[in-house]
Amino acid sequence: MSAVVDARGLSCPQPVMMTLNRIEALGKGVIEVLVDTDTSMENVARLAKNKGWSVKEIQDEGTGYKLVLEK
């Protein structure tokens, strides 16, 4: 099952907090995270790795990034 976290337009630490909440709620699965800055993209990727999730894909969508996290 895939979940979407839309953190576009939100600044630190919201994208990380929202992703963390979803990671803890799901336990495992696939999460798509939408962010609009490089900082948020790096922070979410770092969080995922720290929590044992893999970053399958980071798509540059021009106005932001879509990260696909999986465990």
Binding site for other proteins (CB under 8 A): 8-14, 16-18, 20, 36-39, 42-43, 46-47, 50, 58, 60, 63
The CB-of-69 to other proteins minimum distance in angstroms stands at 15
The CB-of-8 to other proteins minimum distance in angstroms stands at 7
Q: Whose Cβ is closer to other proteins: residue 2's or residue 50's?
A: 50
DSSP the chain: -EEEEE-TTPPTTHHHHHHHHHHHHHSSSEEEEEESSHHHHHHHHHHHHHTT-EEEEEEE-SSSEEEEEE-
